[in-house]
Amino acid sequence: MCLRKLRDVLSADGFGTIVPRDSTMLFSLIAAAPWQIRSDSWLVIGMLGGTMTLLLTLLVISKVPLSYNVLNLTSRWVTTVMTALAFTLVVSLLTVMLAFVNGMYALTEQSGQPGNVIIMAEGSTDETFSNLGVTDIGDIENQSGVARNDQREPCVSRETYIIVNQPIEKAQPGKPKRRFLSVRGVDDPAMSASVHGMILTNGSRWFSEAGVQQLAEDATGQAAIEVVLGGGIAKQLGSDRTSAERAKARNSDRLDLEDTFELNYRTWKVVGIMESLGSTFDSEVWAKRSLVGPMFGKNTYSTLVLRSDPNFRRERRKEVMLARNERADKTLEKALVNFEKKRSEDMARQAADTKKKPSLPSRPVREKVEQPTTDAGWGAEILKEYFNTEYEKSKVNAIVETKYFEGLSSTNLQFLIAIEFIAVVLAIGGVFGVMNTMFAAVSQRGRDIGVLRLLGFKRWQILVSFLLESMAIAIVGSLIGCALGYLWDGVTASSIVSSGQGGGGKAVVLKLVVDLSTLAMGMCLGVAMGLLGGLIPSLSAMRLTALEALR
Amino acid sequence: MKYFLLVFETMRQNWLRTLLTSLGTMMMVFVVTLVFSILTFLDRATSEKSQNLKAIVSERWQIPSQMPIAYADALSEGAPQKEGDHRIESKDSMTWSFYGGTTEKDLRLATRSSFLFAFALLPSSLLTMMDELDSLEGPLKAEFEVVVGKLADNRRGIIVGKDRLAALEKSVGDTITLYGLNYKEINLEVDIVGLFPPGRYDNSAAINRDYLRAALDAYPQSHSGKSHPLASKSLNLVWLRMKDKQIFEQVSNQILSSSSFSSPAVKVETASSGISTFLEAYRDLIWGMRWLLAPAILVTLSLVISNAISIGVRERRMEFAVLKVLGFRPWQILLLVISEALAIGVFSGVFSAGLTYYMVNVYFGGLKFPIAFFGEFRIPWEALWWGAAIGGGTAFAGSFLPAWSARTVKVSDVFAKIA
């Protein structure tokens, strides 16, 4: 998983093209480091294991009795507690911040089905901006690579994705009066749900064929639009209600079945809630496409999501991989030519003006062509290739759904870089704090050090003794910090996932994920702070001679 | 004066502790300054103005807003319908059409570095209406006026931000062909006439709106008389500048009551309100920065300072006892300890904030943290007093208890122990 992230950063941007890297590459590489990944991240856990091994080794080789260290820590308990508290705050902050990014990654990774292919209009990289020709739809979904269900219907979700600027009628003073609401119009909700792997909660149903129902209490005579809500957006819409309304509601936390809300001068009635699966669909409102598309000015389909036939062109798997490898080679070749040209221009510029700083372009690397490991993955890859290279009736952009959602993690990377930067700066600040404590400990215990030296303890044993003390404070503080951070696991937060420039984005409701690797990262940072902060004071203690110490 | 000398002498004697506390403070103030800079910028961008405010007219429901180009002229004037209605002057309005293109002919091979996002607008509005560009002064303004003049003279011209130009690997004077992404098959050959001033528009571009309109008008000739699908939806936003809130309300009513803007319906909102809507998606992130990150750092900083001062107080009990014998009052000892902490905190805070200001604004040219459509933040001048306030405030909070303990040192106890 970690290596996959690293490769994603090193390779191109979802188009299979490699571009020369600039100075941001260093940050990208840092950001690709293991702490962004979750429980299957053995590298992070390995780092923690290494740290713990170091600690155990120190414990084993330490000849100075541990009770001496414990006594010192407890006798200066105020200083010990305050230093540990600083660790707690820094580590809990890091844990919460990483949990946020983890939640964003989880969201983008869990939104795609491995066998699905998204068809968008040519040139579109985001469904918000895609407009597919209505006449092409029937032909696309009847291609042989598209899987069929038991009734021999093509497994296709026809969708129109709209971002609606929703007024918040009862907005609290000082709070925004509008929000962006993701509305997905679908033709056949049951089929769309089966393609996306979405399920309804108990008691829910999909909207009817007409997509509307008459409400007895509605005096205007206009039928209410039936909608199915994702769990996250149900909670957000539920928070628009006044406290009195919430007190009366059957579910005060979120909008529930039979509840209604107003949008575009119409009443929208909730007939279903989708089970929260940690995907971007949790943040969406699903309704009948033929109603919501024209209502918000989008008459075309934005996407078709096709479930690929896993056995589609099995015999051509090797050929497809070969073609993709060739394409990657050609792209690299082109990128290298550009790189050499830029470099020689750079050198010429520098020769003409020695004051000019070289721009130092990075050498492009070849895109790693990943081979699918499952039949579903193969089916999607081959169907994508088919639509992008052979399908001639209309020009479309086919993307494997999992790749599409992975591409929406550009924001995640930006946040991750910012978090890492903050964590490092805070950690450096914390290290100075620990050094203060440990230097004070060394100066207060000069005589102790002298006596220990006279008793025959070696210099390195004194070093280890002091190091163990600072690491003990760090470990206790970090453990409490991790525990505090863990309290945030599962807390929901709103954010945006996007693919950066030219991409668009989605407002999403995500769950913070505090997992093993997050906690391991918090512990690693804490222990590293303790180690670095304790090292210099311990070295100064080690250098004292018995005579100096006793003087 | 002697009192201050005493403070500095103590700091000098414990130079290592002073240095470490100071460095710790600087690191924390650095992070808080960055966080406060972002929050302050966003607060300013979303706070409602009562004078000289900008309004945005856009499609009522859908994002991205797509209005018919026929709306442009009337909306730019504020849709006056009868005598007495307020009419917006042309220098106080701006229309935007968004054109997204790539330099890659085969759209499927387009990379992020080949993308270009351009505002299609009337060139003169860049100087009168565009945020931050409308307030340029001095040589920057004169330089940019020349560039805008070139765009006005050359309908095929394009102004590009420095980062985007570098990504495209092009230079001013080059001609490029942009292959339309949102405007499918609307490909524009453009001449790069100049650069945006460094800052907010480093990754953007601006083209002459007449050029885009001409390309849309020419589309039917090559498509058997069929108009481009976006020909009737090519107006994305209209910006209006108004003198005050009252005029805003009046113009807003003029537009909303006009039957000319009903299909699609439009909405009028202040720029700050529009930005607030965009930032709503980042609500929890901003909340976290404001109420979690910044306070936690301040508390951590207080702890670091408190720890250092407590250690100092413990080591100097004898000194305090002697001072008391020499006639120092308890409150003077309290003040002495607090002053030491304040001196370290304020000095480190101001130094750190000043260094942050220089490094971010001058050396790096801005803090790159993309949030909504703001890609870059700058450290404001106020950061200098933030530094002093953060350093001083946390030093005071962290040193008060240790200082109180120094104040209560009992001379008899200290000397009894020594005896």
Q: In which domain, by residue range, is B121 found?
A: 62-264
User: Quick one: pLDDT at residue B88?
Assistant: 93
Residues B247 and B330 in one domain: no
Residue A124, classed as helix, strand or coil, is: coil
Q: How many helices (H) and strands (E) does chain A have?
A: 18, 12
How far is residue B286's CA from residue B292's CA, in Å, rounded to a whole number? 10
Query: Residue A549 belongs to what H/E stretch?
Result: helix A546-550
| Cis preceding-peptide flag for B264 (omega within 30 of 0) | yes
Residue B215 has, within 13 A of its CA and on its CB side, a CA count of 23
Residues A522 and A463 in one domain: yes
Residues B297 and B156 in one domain: no
In a domain, B180, yes or no: yes
Q: Residue A4: pLDDT above 50? A: no
Residues B153 and B247 in one domain: yes
Residues B96 and B172 in one domain: yes
Residues B192 and B248 in one domain: yes
pLDDT band at A341, cuts 50/70/90?
Answer: confident
Complete DSSP assignment for A69-102: HHHHHHHTHHHHHHHHHHHHHHHHHHHHHHHHHH
In tens, the pLDDT along A214-273 reads: 887 666 678 899 999 998 899 889 988 888 888 888 889 899 999 999 888 889 999 999
Whether the CB-CB separation of B188 and B215 falls below 8 Å is answered with yes
| pLDDT mean over A294-319 | 90
Percentage of chain B modeled with pLDDT above 70? 98
Residues B130 and B248 in one domain: yes
Residues A221 and A282 in one domain: yes
Chain A residues lying within 8 Å of B108, measured CB to CB: 15, 122, 388, 397
User: Quick one: pLDDT at residue A500?
Assistant: 58
- Name the residue facing B310 among A78, A89, A162 (closest C-beta): A78
Kindly state whether B231 is in contact with chain A, defined as any CB-CB distance less than 8 angstroms.
no
Which parts of chain B have pLDDT scores under 70? 1, 108-109, 372-373, 375, 417-419
Q: Into how many domains does chain B fold? A: 2
- Name the residue facing B281 among A296, A422, A495 (closest C-beta): A495
Residues B370 and B401 in one domain: yes
Kindly state whether B280 is in contact with chain A, defined as any CB-CB distance less than 8 angstroms.
yes
Q: Which of A382, A366, A251, A261 is nearest to A321 (CA)?
A: A382
Kindly state whether A435 is in contact with chain B, defined as any CB-CB distance less than 8 angstroms.
yes
Q: Of B264, B291, B319, which marks where a domain is finished?
A: B264
Q: Of A222, A253, A287, which marks where a domain is finished?
A: A287
Residues A177 and A93 in one domain: no
Kindly state whether B276 is in contact with chain A, defined as any CB-CB distance less than 8 angstroms.
yes
Helices A446-454, A410-444: crossing angle, 10 deg rounding: 70
Complete DSSP assignment for A6-39: HHHHHS-SSSS------THHHHHHHHTSGGGS-T
Angle at A44 between CA A39 and CA A47, to 5 degrees: 145
Kindly state whether B295 is in contact with chain A, defined as any CB-CB distance less than 8 angstroms.
no
Residue A375, classed as helix, strand or coil, is: helix
Buried b (16+ CB within 10 A) or exposed e, A12-23: bbbbbbbbbbbe
In a domain, B161, yes or no: yes
* A-B contacts at Cβ under 8 angstroms: 208
Mean pLDDT of chain A, nearest integer: 82
In a domain, B55, yes or no: no
Nearest CA in chain B to A509: B281
Residues 302 through 321 of chain B touching chain A, CB cutoff 8 Å: 303-304, 306-308, 310-311, 315
Chain B residues lying within 8 Å of A179, measured CB to CB: 277, 280-281
Q: Into how many domains does chain A fold? A: 2
Percentage of chain A modeled with pLDDT above 70? 87
In a domain, A123, yes or no: no
DSSP assignment, residue A266?
Answer: E
| pLDDT mean over A429-445 | 84
In degrees rounded to 5, what are phi and psi of residue B235? -100, 115
Print the SS3 string covering chain B: CHHHHHHHHHHHHCHHHHHHHHHHHHHHHHHHHHHHHHHHHHHHHHCCCCEEEEEEEEECCEECCCECCCHHHHHHCCCCCCCCCCCCCHHHEEEEEEEEEECCCCHHHCCHHHEEEEEEECCCHHHHCCCCHHHCCHHHHHHHHHHHHHHHHCCCEEEECHHHHHHHCCCCCCEEEEEECCCCCCCEEEEEEEECCCCCCCCCEEEEHHHHHHHHHHHHHHCCCCCCCCHHHCECEEEEEEEEHHHHHHHHHHHHHCHHHECCEEEEEEHHHHHHHHHHCCHHHHHHHHHHHHHHHHHHHHHHHHHHHHHHHHHCHHHHHHHHHCCCCHHHHHHHHHHHHHHHHHHHHHHHHHHHHHHHHHHCCCEEEEECCEEEECCCCCHHHHHHHHHHHHHHHHHHHHHHHHHCCCHHHHHHHHC
Whether the CB-CB separation of B94 and B60 falls below 8 Å is answered with no
Residues A416 and A526 in one domain: yes
The amino acid that residue A351 corresponds to is A
Residues B92 and B188 in one domain: yes
The verdict on a CB contact (< 8 Å) between B281 and A507 is: yes
How far is residue B233's CA from residue B67's CA, in Å, rounded to a whole number? 5
Kindly state whether B286 is in contact with chain A, defined as any CB-CB distance less than 8 angstroms.
no
How far is residue A154's CA from residue A147's CA, in Å, rounded to a whole number? 6
pLDDT band at A7, cuts 50/70/90?
Answer: very low
Residues A87 and A166 in one domain: no
In a domain, A65, yes or no: yes
Comparing A236-240, A305-309, A505-509, the range with the smallest average pLDDT is A505-509
In tens, the pLDDT along A359-410 reads: 556 677 887 788 888 899 999 999 999 998 889 888 888 999 998 888 887 7
Residues A422 and A532 in one domain: yes
Residues A214 and A282 in one domain: yes
In a domain, A308, yes or no: no
In a domain, A364, yes or no: no
How crowded is residue A264: how many other Cβ atoms within 10 Å of its Cβ? 15
Query: What is the ipTM, given to two decimal places?
Result: 0.79
Q: What is the CA radius of gyration of chain B?
A: 30
Kindly state whether A433 is in contact with chain B, defined as any CB-CB distance less than 8 angstroms.
yes
Residues A107 and A171 in one domain: no
In a domain, B412, yes or no: yes
Q: Which of A368, A533, A403, A399 is nearest to A467 (CA)?
A: A533
In a domain, A264, yes or no: yes
Q: Of A228, A262, A287, which marks where a domain is finished?
A: A287
Residues A104 and A180 in one domain: no
Nearest CA in chain A to B266: A165
Comparing A329-343, A500-514, B260-274, the range with the smallest average pLDDT is A500-514
Q: In which domain, by residue range, is A454 found?
A: 38-111+408-550
The verdict on a CB contact (< 8 Å) between A501 and B181 is: no
Residues B26 and B111 in one domain: no
In a domain, B53, yes or no: no
Q: Which of B383, B366, B384, B385 is nearest to B375 (CA)?
A: B366
In a domain, B274, yes or no: no
In tens, the pLDDT along A41-85 reads: 666 677 778 888 888 888 888 777 788 888 888 888 888 898 899
In degrees rounded to 5, what are phi and psi of residue A193? -65, -40
User: Quick one: pLDDT at residue B372?
Assistant: 67
Residues B90 and B230 in one domain: yes
* Verdict on whether the full-model pTM lies above 0.95: no
In a domain, A171, yes or no: yes
| Cis preceding-peptide flag for B64 (omega within 30 of 0) | yes
How far is residue A257's CA from residue A210's CA, in Å, rounded to a whole number? 18
In a domain, B269, yes or no: no
In a domain, B276, yes or no: no
In degrees rounded to 5, what are phi and psi of residue A276? -75, 115
pLDDT band at A5, cuts 50/70/90?
Answer: very low
Residues A99 and A169 in one domain: no
Q: Of A255, A287, A319, which marks where a domain is finished?
A: A287
Residues A101 and A172 in one domain: no
Residues B178 and B91 in one domain: yes
In a domain, A75, yes or no: yes
Residues A273 and A182 in one domain: yes
In a domain, A77, yes or no: yes
Nearest CA in chain A to B24: A429
Q: Residue A456: pLDDT above 80? A: yes
Q: What are the angstrom distances between the C-alpha of B99 and each of A76, A424, B120?
A: 66, 40, 7
Residues B132 and B231 in one domain: yes
